[in-house]
Amino acid sequence: MKRKDMLGLRDSTAEEIGLILDTAARFRSVSERRIKKVPTLRGRTIVTAFFEDSTRTRLSFDVAAKRLSADTLGFSASSSSTKKGETLMDTARNLDAMKPDAIVIRHPCAGAPHMLAQAFPWSVLNAGDGINEHPSQALLDMLTMRDHLGSLAGRTVAIVGDVYHSRVARSNLYGLPKVGARVLLAGPGTMCRPQMARPGVELLHRVDDVLAEADVIMMLRIQRERLAPGMMSTSREYARFYGLDLERLERARPEVLVMHPGPINRGVEMSPDVADGDRSVILEQVTNGVAVRMALMYLLLGGEPLPPGGDDAAAS
Ligand code: NCD
């Protein structure tokens, strides 16, 4: 891959997305071995810098780097000098002085990873910047869809809930049309805004209107930490109009896939019986996340495209 950084899917091509997903499919088998490690990135140093809370994404990047034999250093804003008033640029200059090869960053400000990518020579992987993008999540979503549906061209993905404040949705909105998928959006007017519609992306608002046509239903968490006052009524009302429960799921195709990036607010955007039900591929998304992040680190740090073959190559 020619690029130094992975900042978002807005400027990625269908070919790059295909290369990342194919490479991820090849790396999956490493996590199935008893010794879950390959020497690919031995001697390289990868920093995970999380200025916002995270469970899955942080652990997933960390384990992905370790399975490639990279040395990992991690810090979070709550336990670092950010609390003492250090700016992002000062923190980054200090990290730079330790000669890392790549930095995985999550930050509440949209554009923070882009700033570091311009200022420093190491690779920057965006693990979520404010409401902007979360490309590795959208890529793991696509890999999970591809496992079940084959090619995504002509498939319909419904994204439901707080689309406007979701960086996961935004990366999917950039990525899915590039691989030929059609996206339908449903959610309250404050969370699903008209300017989000574009070629390949339609806004329908009502959940029942998107369900019947969907091959995939992606439910989103309400981004309470990013909502302005008055943007939402009560959780109970939200669940009634926009939540996915078994009764509503019956209106979808029987083979529909139910996805969620996590963390789930059970009983709000999704009922527990749907989250744990037989249409849910939520934990497959987590497993695929490790492979996608291995692929991203491998490709950004100079790895050549892997030749076709191997067990997992057949998955696509
Ligand atoms: C998402 C995020 O942080 O944007 N979570 C994740 O990375 N798996 C979604 C969310 O927090 O709702």
In CATH terms, is domain 14-132+285-307 a member of 3.40.50.1370? Answer: yes
Q: Is 56 in the pocket of ligand 1 (CB under 6 A)?
A: yes
Beta-bridged to residue 6, according to DSSP, are 125
CATH topology of domain 135-283: Rossmann fold (3.40.50)
163 CA distance to ligand 1 centroid (A)? 12
What digits encode the pLDDT tens for the residues 59-70?
999 999 999 999
Same fold for the pair 14-132+285-307 and 135-283 = yes
Q: Are 297 and 102 in contact (CB under 8 A)?
A: yes
260 CA distance to ligand 1 centroid (A)? 9
The verdict on whether 134 is a catalytic residue reads yes
Q: Report the share of the chain in percent with pLDDT over 70.
A: 97
Query: Distance between CA 259 and CA 235 in Å, rounded?
Result: 20
Q: What is the pTM of this model?
A: 0.95
Instruction: Return the number of other C-beta atoms located less than 10 Å from residue 272's C-beta.
Output: 11
Across the range 52-62, mean pLDDT stands at: 95
Q: How far is CA 115 from CA 124, 129, 186, in A?
A: 10, 11, 33
Per-residue pLDDT at 202 exceeds 90: yes
CA 134 to chain CA centroid, nearest Å:
5
Helix (H) or strand (E) holding 273: helix 272-275
Testing ligand 1's pocket by substitution, the residue of 173, 221, 223 carrying the most ligand atoms inside 8 A of its CB is 221
The verdict on whether 106 is a catalytic residue reads yes
Q: Could you tell me the residue ranges of all domains in the chain? A: 14-132+285-307, 135-283
Which residue in 23, 45, 57, 156 is the catalytic one?
57
Q: Three-class SS of residue 213? A: coil
Q: Is 67 in the pocket of ligand 1 (CB under 6 A)?
A: no
Question: Considering only CA atoms, which of 179, 159, 178, 177 is closest in space to residue 169?
Answer: 159
Atom nearest to 167 CA in ligand 1: 4
Across the range 96-114, mean pLDDT stands at: 97
Question: Considering only CA atoms, which of 141, 74, 82 is closest in space to residue 108?
Answer: 82
Residue nearest ligand 1's atom 7 by CA: 57
Per-residue pLDDT at 312 exceeds 70: no
Query: By CB neighbour count within 10 A (0-12 exposed, 13-18 middle, 19+ buried), where does 131 fall?
Result: middle
310: pLDDT confidence band, cut at 50, 70 and 90?
low
Q: Is 128 in the pocket of ligand 1 (CB under 6 A)?
A: yes
Q: Residue 315's pLDDT is what? A: 33
Which residue in 4, 56, 114, 205 is the catalytic one?
56
